[in-house]
Homo-oligomer: A and B are copies of this chain.
Amino acid sequence: MDALQQVSAYWRAANYLSAGQIYLLDNPLLTEPLLPEHIKPRLLGHWGTTPGLNFVFAHLNRIITERGQDMIYIAGPGHGGPATVAHAWLEGTYSELYPDVSQDAAGMRRLFRQFSFPGGIPSHAAPETPGSIHEGGELGYSLAHAYGAAFDNPDLVVACVIGDGEAETGPLAGSWHSNKFRHPRKDGVVLPILHLNGYKIANPSFLARIPPAELAKLMEGYGYRPYVVEGDDPDAVHPLMASTLDAVFNEIATRPEHLPMIILKTPKGWTGPKEVDGKPVEGTWRAHQVPLSEVRTNDEHREQLAAWMRSYKPEELFDDQGRPYPEVVGLVPKGPKRMSASPHANGGELLRPLVLPDFRDYAVAIERPGTASTSPTQVLGTFLRDVIAANPHSFRLMGPDETASNRLQAVYEATGKAWQAATLPTDENLQPGGRVMEVLSEHLCQGWLEGYLLTGRHGLFNCYEAFIHIVDAMFNQHAKWLDTAREIPWRRPVASLNYLLSSHVWRQDHNGFTHQDPGFLDVVLNKKASVVRVYLPPDANTLLSVADHCLRSRDYVNVIVAGKQPVLDLFDREEAVVHCTRGLGIVDWASNDAGQEPDVVLACAGDVPTLETLAAVSLLREKLPDLRVRVINVVDLMRLQPPGEHPHGLPDAEFDALFTTDKPVIFNFHGYPWLIHRLTYKRNGHDNFHVRGYREEGTTTTPFDMAMLNGIDRFHLVRDVIDRVEGLGVRYAALRQEMTDARLRARAHTRAHGEDAPEIRDWTF
C-alpha cells in the first residue's frame, strides 16, 4: 500500500469503528448476521461530523509520520466523540490507558458498548478521551483553546477542526483574531480547518452557503491564507487533501509568519447512508445524529446498517482477532508523537511548578493595623511582575484591556503586552511575545487560559468583577472538565484556573449599575466542592498570601475578589499567612471579648464590608464601651460550609466556638447576602445570622453612598447591633436615631457636593 492507500484504509477503519460505537452492543466485526440483539436499545450519538473528523485525523497522521511534527488535535464539532475515540483505539493509546478495551475483538466490543452507554463514556470528546484538551459539549471555544495550547510551544502544531455550526458562535468568530497575539517563532502554529459539512442540528450553516469568494475574503480578513479542499468523491478528495497538507506544512516550515488555514468542504455524514426511508441523508442535516434510527425494530434499517458498515470492508481492516492490520495503522506515529498520546494533551505530564518568589518579600509593612491604606492589587502587581520574570515561558497574565485599570501595572516592568499587529511611536508596553495578554474579549482570555493550562502551564485571568459573567458558561464547562478529569487516573493534575476579580461592585465610581454584579460567586458555588475555591482577602498582605496559595494549587478554579482602590492595611506579613491559612478568624485588635463570650459577632468578608464593619466596631466601642464585640473576618468562603459539603468546611465545633450558637451574628458580605445563608444554613447558629450584602441597588455614586444604598455601611451595622442584642433596643433608641441621622446627612452631602462627606473618607480605625 502506498501512503494514500494507507490513509484511506485508516479512514475506513475509523469510520467503521465510529459507526460501531453508535450502534453495536455486540457482533463488532459483523462476523455473524446482524440481529436486533446486537443493537443498542438507545441509539445515542452523532454520525454527521464524524467522517470529516476521521478524514482530517487520518491525513494528519501521514504528515506527523513523514515530518516528525509534534501535533495535537482539537475536535471543535460538538459530537465528534466516535471519531476521537476511534483514533485513540487505532493508535493503541486507548488500550494502553484502558487495558480492558484491548486492541482486539473483545476490546472492540467493549469500545462499542461503552460509547454513550450508562456507566460508559460521553458522546463527544471529553476528559475521558485520550488526546483531548477540548470538550465537545458547549460550542465555540475550540480555536481559543488551540491558541492557548500553541502559546509558548514553538515546536507544536495545533490542528483545530472548527465545525461550521460552531463557527456561527460569537466566541469562535472572535477567536480567529487570536493570530494578532501569536509570536511567529516563540509560539506554536495553529492550523484552523474549517469543516463545512453544511449543516447544524436542523439547519444549514451560513458559512457553507455564502459565496466561496466571500468566505475566502473573510478568512483573509481574519489574517489567514485559505486553502480549499472540496469534494464528495473520496478518491478525488484524498489526493487533494494530501497535496494541500503538504503545501500547508511546507509553508509553516519555511514562513513562520504566514498563517495558512484550510476550508474543507465535504458532505455531512460522508460515506453513511445516502437515503433512508426515501429521504436524502448523506449531505443533509438528517445525518446529524443517528442516520438509521430504528435499527433494532426495522429490518430494512438493520440491513442498511449492515451494508453501510460492510462498505468499509472490515475484513480488509481487522484480522480475525479484531486487530487492525499493520498496513491500516502503518502511518500511525510512534509513542508520544501519536496525537492521542501527546503529553501536550495531558498537560499535567509536562507541568512544572512555578518558580515563585517569597510573597512575604512583597508585603506591606504595618505599624499599627487599620491606620494606613494600600491598593491590594497594586502590591500584587509587584509579586506578579517577579513571577513573570522567573517563569518566562510558562506563565501568562490574561486581561480584557483591564490590567492597568486593575492596578497590576508593575508587571510591565518585567514584560510587555503580546502584540503582533502594527505599532506606533506613542505605544507603550507592547511587545511581541509579551506575557500579558490584553484583548477586549473575556471569551478569548478564558479560552486561551484554559488551553494554556490544559497543556501544562500556569496563568491568571484578571477581570472586572461584573463582566466575568460573560464567561459563566465557559467556567461551568471548565469546572465540569476538572471534576471529571480528577477521577481519571491517567490525567495528571494541571494548574488551577485563577481568577482575580477586581474593579468590584463596591468601587464603580465611574461606571455605575452596569458594572455592579458580584453574582459570579453564586455561579461558582453551584459547581462541585472538589474543584471550586473562593477567597476574599481584605487587604494587600492577605491578597499576596492567597495569590501565592492559588498559584501553587492544582485542578481547582480559584476565584479571588480583591480591591484595586486603597484599603486599610489590616494584617502584617506573618498574620496574613496565619489568617489565610485558617481561612477565617477573629480580628483580635478590633474585638473586645477577650476570653469571654461576646454579646454580638460582627463578621465580614470582602474589603469594603470589612472596612465598614471596623468602622461600626469603632462606633460601638465609643458609644457602648461595655458591649463585648467579636470581629471575624472570612477570607476563604468555603470555610463557612459544613465539612461534609466542602473539604475546607470548618468542623461544627470550631464554627460554633467562633460564631457562637446563640448570639446575634451580623455578617457584612461582599456579594449577594443569600450566599452566606446558603453556606451556613445547616450551622447551629444559623437562625441568629443577619446578613447584609449587595441588594442590587446601584448607580454612579461615591463608594460610601453605595454602601449606604445597600445597607452595608457602619450606620446600618450599628443599628443592627442595637436591634438584635437583647436589651439594647430600648436603652439606645437615641443612638439608633443618631445613626440614621448620620446616614441621611452623609447621603445629602454626597448629593449636594458629589463626594463622600469628609469624615467618612478620612476615617481610620
Contact = CB atoms under 8 A, between A and B. Distances in A.
Contact of A426 (B120, B284, B404, B512): B284
Contacts of A421: 204, 206, 209-210
Interface stretch (A61-69, A133-141, A541-549, A600-608): A133-141
Contact of A440 (B116, B139, B753): B139
Interface string A735-765: 0000000000000001101110000000000
A180 B164 CA distance: 15
A223 B705 CA distance: 48
A254 interface: no
A701 B443 contact: no
A294 interface: no
Given A427-B204, A430-B204, A220 B223 contact: no
Contact of A528 (B137, B172, B522, B696): B696
Contacts of A755: 41-42
Interface in A94-134: 116-124, 126
A44 B204 contact: no
Given A218-B218, A422-B209, A476-B517, A123 B510 contact: yes
Given A170-B175, A523-B519, A473 B476 contact: no
Contacts of A168: 174, 177, 439-441, 444
A686 to B, nearest CB: 8
Q: How many subunits of this chain does the assembly comprise? A: 2
A470 interface: yes
A165 interface: yes
A677 B80 CA distance: 40
Given A118-B705, A169-B443, A754 B25 contact: yes
A424 B511 contact: no
B678 A754 contact: no
Interface in A129-174: 135, 137-140, 165-166, 168-174
A221 interface: yes
Contacts of A362: none
Given A117-B754, A514-B138, A526-B696, A440 B205 contact: yes
A249 interface: no
Contacts of A522: 522-523, 526
A158 to B, nearest CB: 19
Nearest to A206: B180
Contacts of A754: 25, 40-42, 117-118
A313 interface: no
B219 A221 contact: yes
Nearest to A479: B696
Contact of A701 (B118, B467, B480, B678): B118
A732 interface: no
A511 B123 contact: yes
Interface in A199-250: 200-206, 209-211, 214-223
Contacts of A426: 280, 283-284
Contacts of A705: 118
A320 interface: no
Contacts of A700: 44, 116-118, 120-123
Contacts of A177: 168, 173, 206
A86 interface: no
Contact of A483 (B44, B124, B137, B696): B696
A283 B177 CA distance: 24
Contacts of A173: 170, 173-174, 176-177
Contacts of A42: 509, 702, 754-755
A523 B472 contact: yes
A297 interface: no
A466 interface: yes
A681 interface: yes
A476 B210 contact: no
A484 interface: yes
Contacts of A121: 700
A245 to B, nearest CB: 24
Contacts of A175: 170
A42 B40 CA distance: 69
Contacts of A442: 169
Nearest to A447: B170
A519 B476 contact: yes
B440 A165 contact: yes
A317 to B, nearest CB: 26
5 contacts: A116-B510, A204-B419, A472-B473, A484-B513, A523-B523
Interface of A: 25, 40-42, 44-45, 116-124, 126, 135, 137-140, 165-166, 168-177, 180, 200-206, 209-211, 214-223, 280, 283-284, 289, 401-405, 417, 419, 421-424, 426-427, 430, 438-444, 466-467, 469-470, 472-473, 476-477, 480, 483-484, 509-515, 517, 519, 522-523, 526-528, 672, 674, 677-678, 681, 687, 696, 698-702, 705, 750-751, 753-755
